[in-house]
Amino acid sequence: MKAEKNLRQEKIEINIQNLSKVYKTNNGSFQALENVSLYVKNEEFVSILGPSGCGKSTILRILAGLEEPTSGSVQVSGEEVKGPSAKRGMVFQSYTLFPWLTVRENIEFGLKLKGMKQKERKEISDRYLELVGLERFADSYGKELSGGMKQRVAIARSLANNPEVLLMDEPFGALDAQTKQSMQQLLLDIWKKEKTTIVFITHDIDEALFLSQRIYVMEARPGRILEEIDADLQLFQDGELVDVEKFMNVKKHIISLLKH
């Protein structure tokens, strides 16, 4: 099941080597991650899949520069991650919109911080409003939007800053099944158009298989990579499952890994 690592002619966007993270608590030390190594190629969609508490979100926060590793190397585009950067966009599970700003103002927030002129900001926000299908809601506020619409705004806001990498921490976990499915398809459509490298955190096997080209399966206590799985298996066509047998075989294999 392991994907081949013939990467000589591939540009590596993310390279994590021997990453470990230890937290100090009142009851002593707790090791969240142990010797995690993974890579993500340029313009690739990779999911990190595992149970709650396996440290997958910790990996994402370290990649985002929001936490420091205890040991190991974490590089994006050949540079060691030392802190947050506009080169790495982040979308959380919780809705992180500024409630006092409109949809357009939320999307333009990072651009305004950069000192970009209003005309240019509007051109960019127009593009991403169209991309996520929210043109009619440009002047609406967060309280007027559904959960799925709020996540569309969060995705648009991250992409508007033109990041090299988009980091997504279970962004559809709080959505109902129907909305989740439509958001997954929307994300795939955006990824194909934007060619942004994506690292996606999930505990949903079906979601990982639908979205990803590769999947890293993790175990907990401490968090470690169990296996790297090739998920680019042409299991879906136009959002519909077309190879049920292959899908079930891969899913059963992942379930067996997680039971370990």
pLDDT tens digits along 68-98: 999 999 999 999 999 999 899 999 888 789 9
Question: What is the model's pLDDT at position 10?
Answer: 63
Question: What is the model's pLDDT at position 95?
Answer: 75
Please determine, for residue 162, whether its predicted confidence score (pLDDT) is greater than 60: yes
Task: Please tell me which residue, 150 or 239, carries the higher pLDDT value.
Answer: 150
Architecture of domain 1-87+163-260: 3-Layer(aba) Sandwich (3.40)
Please determine, for residue 183, whether its predicted confidence score (pLDDT) is greater than 50: yes
Please determine, for residue 1, whether its predicted confidence score (pLDDT) is greater than 70: no
Q: List, in order, residues 6 or more apart from 203 with CB less than 8 Å away.
A: 49, 50, 51, 52, 170
pTM: 0.92
Compute the average pLDDT of residues 204-218. 97
Question: What is the model's pLDDT at position 26?
Answer: 86
Compute the average pLDDT of residues 227-252. 92
Question: What is the model's pLDDT at position 174?
Answer: 86
Write down the mean pLDDT value for the chain: 92
Compute the average pLDDT of residues 141-155. 94
Domain regions of the chain by residue span: 1-87+163-260, 91-161
- Contact between 124 and 177 (Cβ < 8 Å): no
Compute the average pLDDT of residues 158-165. 94
Measured distance CA(67)–CA(234) in Å, rounded: 36
Q: Measured between alpha carbons, how far is residue 110 from residues 38, 86, 206 in Å?
A: 29, 9, 33
Question: What is the model's pLDDT at position 4?
Answer: 40
Question: What is the model's pLDDT at position 96?
Answer: 82
* pLDDT tens per residue, range 46-63: 999 999 999 999 999 999
Compute the average pLDDT of residues 214-229. 96
* pLDDT tens per residue, range 3-45: 444 444 468 899 999 999 999 988 888 999 999 999 999 999 9
- Place 181 in a pLDDT band, splitting at 50, 70 and 90: very high
